[in-house]
Chains A and B, each alone.
Chain A
């Protein structure tokens, strides 16, 4: 009998599906970790002194989330009354959050709904996949940016994409956190002075301070005397109705300048409006024509090269070149005048092929990246399932070992010397027979 796989032992080889995930990537965050910690505990004893952590260890407490719609009552944990987080199911078929049932179990080792006796962690199992999928699909609001997304994506979203999530400051020495969208601005953790209220604060807080908190944040636009937020003045000036602006036909010669709100009236009577519209139309036309000219030029060049080539090599064997462009060449009257143009043509062919290969390789890398992402996404649930299976296997292994021990202990204080020699004989035979068959199997292999 093979030795049972112990939970603490080395994991089995996962060769075809195993993907090593580097540390600190989103793929090794999330629920699989908490399940693994559960299986690492000894199924037969529970450490009374151990404090079972409430909430996840990676910073996102799924219980605090705002759900977009009311969560189905069947998906609520009876203990915390929130949508289940890392759910487990008891033998009496009640499902709780893993953390909740452990805490409840510590004060009373029974099922909190029907009070049937419960042994943790051996008794609980992962609920059916359909429940997990329903929980994963619950729509939540991202606590940082307010976007709506499925709950299972949240950790990935926060650790990779959310522009408002906090990440480490890009400065290597600085140990503070910045919002992801400010990451490109360098370290903003230095003292600075608000130009409006002269208060000293960190540059990183300046934007929100000037927009929301600063007492002097509001100013009056000097043109339209409307209240504006000072740091947004530049944007306001672009649309302020009281600012002097020039007519939109300036570049065609209109000298008129007026307040923005009066420009509309001018636009109707501007003498340049007809010219301007015409000019714009013409310009659009010219640019399309230019494009066409450019493509025609290119075509022309290519044709010229072909003609030159054919002129030089009247008896060129087409089958030598497996390029379609060559086989489509028209017949032309050959005159051997440019002996060097053959090389030229071949070179140009080579160039075009090279550029095509380049394009293809770019396309390939894109596809590869997509494929890898898809693979990653598909592998996460598989890895989760694997971890669960491994834990289940470990538990079964422990059971088997325990049973074996039990059996052996039962047998040891058995009959005396005579009995043991009797039972020893056939036992030994059986052993030999077994090893013989094993050897046969090995030789067959």
Chain B
């Protein structure tokens, strides 16, 4: 759909010219506007600070009517991201029934950053990490920092 591509190009121009702090965006493949590579710096003041995380944003062909998907390509130890090769992320606004065609990619990126600042243990995909986050904050921070050093450098 031409309309979908037009909107994506417009949003890409917006995000590349004025990205959220600590985020850079590029196309995974210059000829395909539906896959975006995103480099996100770990937000300062969090155990992920200093790490560089690579994410892949995939926009469906019927974007903006269907929600995009956002996956961590860099392993991250976080209650709301699966700790595997997929790096599936549980982001509220990207769920099928919550997604609104009026949402912008810019707001997805800030929401993802916000999730790193404030994990949401009640809606976790990694139960063990969520438990640690709830019960042993200091241990969680330490472990997350270690994994950040290990994978996100």
| Residues of A in contact with B (beta carbons under 8 Å apart) | 54-55, 61, 63-64, 78-82, 99-100, 103-104, 106-108, 112-113, 115
Query: Given A104-B101, A107-B62, A107-B66, A80 and B1 touching (CB < 8 A)?
Result: no
What is the predominant secondary structure among interface residues of chain B facing chain A?
Answer: loop
Taking CB atoms, residues of chain B closer than 8 Å to A104 are: 64-65, 101
A82 pairs with B6, CB closer than 8 A:
yes
Chain B, residue nearest A76 (CB): B10
Taking CB atoms, residues of chain A closer than 8 Å to B66 are: 107
**Is B142's beta carbon under 8 Å from chain A?**
no
Taking CB atoms, residues of chain A closer than 8 Å to B101 are: 78-79, 100, 104, 112
Q: Which of B1-35 contact A (CB under 8 A)?
A: 1-3, 6-7, 10-11
CB distance from B17 to the nearest CB of A (A): 13
Taking CB atoms, residues of chain A closer than 8 Å to B10 are: 81-82
Kindly list 5 other residue pairs between chains A and B, CB separation below 8 angstroms, not including A64-B2, A100-B101.
Answer: A79-B64, A80-B6, A82-B6, A82-B7, A107-B62
Interface string of B46-87 (1 = CB under 8 A from A): 000000000000000010111000000000000000000000
Taking CB atoms, residues of chain A closer than 8 Å to B102 are: 78-79, 112-113
Taking CB atoms, residues of chain A closer than 8 Å to B2 are: 54-55, 61, 64
**Is B134's beta carbon under 8 Å from chain A?**
no
**Is B100's beta carbon under 8 Å from chain A?**
yes
**Bound: A181/B94 CA distance, A:** 52
B3 pairs with A63, CB closer than 8 A:
yes
Taking CB atoms, residues of chain A closer than 8 Å to B97 are: 108
Chain B, residue nearest A104 (CB): B101
- Contact partner, B100, options A64, A81, A115, Cβ 8 Å: A115
Taking CB atoms, residues of chain B closer than 8 Å to A106 are: 65
Interface size class of B (residues with CB under 8 A): 10 to 19
B1 pairs with A54, CB closer than 8 A:
yes
Chain A, residue nearest B97 (CB): A108
**Bound: A108/B97 CA distance, A:** 8
**Bound: A362/B46 CA distance, A:** 84
Query: Given A104-B101, A112-B100, A115-B100, A81 and B65 touching (CB < 8 A)?
Result: no
CB distance from B103 to the nearest CB of A (A): 9
A80 pairs with B100, CB closer than 8 A:
no
CB distance from A105 to the nearest CB of B (A): 10
B3 pairs with A80, CB closer than 8 A:
yes
CB distance from A155 to the nearest CB of B (A): 19
**Bound: A99/B102 CA distance, A:** 14
**Bound: A397/B33 CA distance, A:** 47
- Contact partner, B11, options A81, A103, A108, Cβ 8 Å: A81
**Bound: A353/B113 CA distance, A:** 88
Taking CB atoms, residues of chain B closer than 8 Å to A55 are: 2-3
Taking CB atoms, residues of chain B closer than 8 Å to A54 are: 1-3
CB distance from A122 to the nearest CB of B (A): 21
Taking CB atoms, residues of chain B closer than 8 Å to A61 are: 2
CB distance from A207 to the nearest CB of B (A): 30
Query: Given A79-B64, A104-B65, A107-B66, A113 and B3 touching (CB < 8 A)?
Result: no
Taking CB atoms, residues of chain B closer than 8 Å to A63 are: 3, 6
Q: Could you show 20 A-B contacts with beta carbons less than 8 Å apart?
A: A63-B3, A63-B6, A64-B6, A78-B101, A78-B102, A79-B101, A80-B3, A80-B7, A81-B10, A81-B11, A82-B6, A82-B10, A100-B3, A100-B101, A107-B62, A108-B65, A108-B97, A112-B100, A113-B100, A113-B102
**Bound: A112/B100 CA distance, A:** 5
Taking CB atoms, residues of chain B closer than 8 Å to A80 are: 3, 6-7
Chain A, residue nearest B66 (CB): A107
A103 pairs with B7, CB closer than 8 A:
no
Identify the interface centre among A54, A81, A82, A100: most chain B CB within 10 Å of its CB: A81
A103 pairs with B65, CB closer than 8 A:
yes
CB distance from B8 to the nearest CB of A (A): 10
Chain B, residue nearest A79 (CB): B101
**Bound: A108/B67 CA distance, A:** 12
Chain B, residue nearest A64 (CB): B6
**Bound: A386/B62 CA distance, A:** 36
**Bound: A115/B103 CA distance, A:** 12
Taking CB atoms, residues of chain A closer than 8 Å to B7 are: 79-82
Chain B, residue nearest A114 (CB): B100
CB distance from B4 to the nearest CB of A (A): 9
Q: Which of B86-138 contact A (CB under 8 A)?
A: 97, 100-102
Chain B, residue nearest A107 (CB): B65
Identify the interface centre among B6, B64, B101: most chain A CB within 10 Å of its CB: B101
**Bound: A402/B65 CA distance, A:** 33
**Bound: A252/B100 CA distance, A:** 83
Chain A, residue nearest B96 (CB): A108
**Bound: A54/B2 CA distance, A:** 9
CB distance from A338 to the nearest CB of B (A): 85
CB distance from A345 to the nearest CB of B (A): 77
**Bound: A61/B102 CA distance, A:** 21
